[in-house]
Structure 1
Amino acid sequence: MQAKQLLGLSYFMLENYPKTSQLLSDVIVARPFNVGVYYTLALSLIKEGKKEESDQVIKQMVLLGGDSPQLHVVLGQAYNEQGETAKALEELQLAATLDSKFPMVHYYSGLVYLKGGKFDESTREFETELALNPGNVQAKYHLGFVLLAQQKTAAGVKIMREVIQTKPDFADAYYELGKALVQEGEIKDGVVSLEMAAKLQPDKSYVQYQLGRAYLAAGRKAEGENHLEISRQLKEKERQQTKP
């Protein structure tokens, strides 16, 4: 059961939430007193959009752990998924009050602020998370994302390069880096980054679109038009899939 728990946690770090939920649901049956497992399972179910199931896990967390940072982080995530930003921040601030160094509190707070377009606040939260947990690649990526959104290109590019160095298969980091480099006129390096993003995420229309534009900027007309057409086809496929 210990192996299944560790595997579930590994899947959570890889953002494979269905596998996480499947494994940890088995673990809590065998080990019903581990608040940490309930915490990860609840977050995973929230990410899957399984509100009723996550609510049941949260109730068990209350019974087991009472008023804890884990509980408030989970509630903050749940409120954020429901679009209740103020309540989400309130819960995350309660978690930080109970334990200012609790992992992911500042990261999740940063995501809530980012969702609301509050870049200065999100930057502060991501930087705080990284000061406490320098290995949080997601926090570093989102800090780079915010810096690029604020036109702080040099700092944002530097951070995206660091993210890629740490996690060479981070497709979104290649994508954001490539876009920024092309905008700065560094077409050749931008194309290389966007090619890697497309290799890692070939079915993303927005990646194919930016790669097509980069090829056109590099004077590679045929390749550019080809990828713009691929982007158009992928968008049409997405539109068909979202039809009621």
Structure 2
Amino acid sequence: MANLLQEEGRTDDVIALCKRTLSLDERNAQAYTLLGEVYANRKEPAAALPYFEKSVEMQPKLTRNRLNLAGALIEVGQYGRAESLLNEIVREHPRFPFAHFNLGLLYDEQRRLEEAKTAYAAEVAAYPEHFKARFNLGKVMFQLGDRAGSLAQMREVVRLAPEQPEGYLFLARGLLQESAPIEQVQAVVEKGLSLARAPDQKALGWLLMADVYNRKRQPEKMNEALRNAGSYAPAPAH
């Protein structure tokens, strides 16, 4: 029942049902896991953490539970515990889905870019269709100065996930750095913008368009693009 409610997006109902279940059976490991997953999906890692802790305590051999816990630990900044847990997982199960990916996230958060690159590359080697791992690998390569490697990954992201805007936008960024033909770059940016939904994606897209118009010596369009980018920027904190 709880799984069905979760699939339907009725997260408040899932929480209520799981808590009611635990009031009757405090050893119900599935209820703890579901509660953790619901809070994690709602971007509330601090709320998810105690439930993932409990699910690991009750079922310590389940790798998925440990991976969930590691993800929550990363989100709340408990990097040492998360790293120990993830290293344990990859030693036991080198190809476990998302294990190397989460290690990459952990290293990325700490600006340990070479280690992040290695972790993301391991995830991509095990799961070549994992576009998020490729995307993050491409971003890290760009930061490390490997522009050709980054472009190759972003092209593959676009191939694997043509409906996702981020591949196009970051591919365009790399193409601008490489002074690719400006019409080619503009087409890639426009495709990314047409797919963008999140404000940060739209802001990046318009900043890239401003760069395109600047290189095409079209100042009025450049200024309009900058205004559009600014309209999606977060409001300053008071």
Q: Give the structure-1-normalised TM-score.
A: 0.78
Q: CA offsets per residue over residues 99-149 of structure 1, 9 Å max, x none?
A: 222110000001111122222111111111122222211111111111122
The reply on whether 1:73 has 2:67 as its aligned counterpart is yes
Equivalent positions of 1:156-175 (< 5 A) are 156-175=150-169
Query: Cα gap change, 1:145/1:41 in structure 2, threshold over 3 Å: closer, same or farther?
Result: farther
CA distance in 1, matches of 2:68, 2:44: 13
- Please give the alpha-carbon distance, in whole angstroms, between the structure 1 residues aligned to 2:10 and 2:150: 32
Aligned to 2:81: 87
Q: Does 1:184 align with 2:178?
A: yes
Give 2:4's aligned residue: 4
Whole-angstrom CA distance in 2 between matches of 1:119 and 1:97? 21
1:16 matched residue in structure 2: none
Taking structure 1 as reference, are residues 111 and 20 closer, same or farther at Cα in structure 2, changes over 3 Å only?
A: farther
Match for 1:197: what amino acid? Answer: G
Deviation at 1:72, TM superposition (A): 2.3
Structure 1 pair 43–220 and aligned structure 2 pair: CA distance change class (3 A): farther
Provide Cα deviations, 1:150-183, integer angstroms capped at 9, x if missing partner. Answer: 2211221111111111111221111111111111
Cα 1:44–1:159, aligned 2, differ >3 Å: closer, same or farther? farther
State the one-letter code of the partner of 2:77: G
| Correspondences of 1:29-44 after superposition (within 5 Å) | 42-43=36-37
Percent identity at matched positions?
A: 18
> AA paired with 1:96?
V
Per the TM alignment, residue 40 of structure 1 is displaced from its structure 2 partner at its CA by 7.1
2:113 aligns to what? Answer: 119
Query: What code does the residue aligned with 2:215 have?
Result: A
1:201 corresponds in structure 2 to 196
CA distance in 2, matches of 1:177, 1:141: 10
RMSD of aligned Cα (Å): 3.0
How many residue pairs get aligned? The number is 228
Q: Distance in 2 between matches of 1:20 and 1:148?
A: 39
Q: Go from structure 1 to structure 2 and tell me whether the alpha carbon gap of 1:149 and 1:38 turns closer, same or farther (over 3 Å shift).
A: farther
Indicate conservation of the 8 Å contact 1:68/1:95, yes or no: no
SS in 1 for 2:94: coil
Shift of 1:192: 1.6
Contact 1:72 1:94 in 2 (8 A): no
Rg larger in 1 or in 2?
2
CA distance in 2, matches of 1:214, 1:97: 46
1:213 is aligned to: 211
1:110 and 2:104 matched: yes
Give ranges in structure 2 of 5+ residues lacking alignment: none
Aligned position for 1:152: 146
Q: 1:2 to 1:130 in 2, by over 3 A?
A: farther
**Any gaps of 5 or more consecutive residues in structure 1?**
9-18
8 Å contact from structure 1 (residues 188, 218) kept in 2? no
Equivalent-residue separation in structure 2 for 1:216 and 1:40 (angstroms): 50
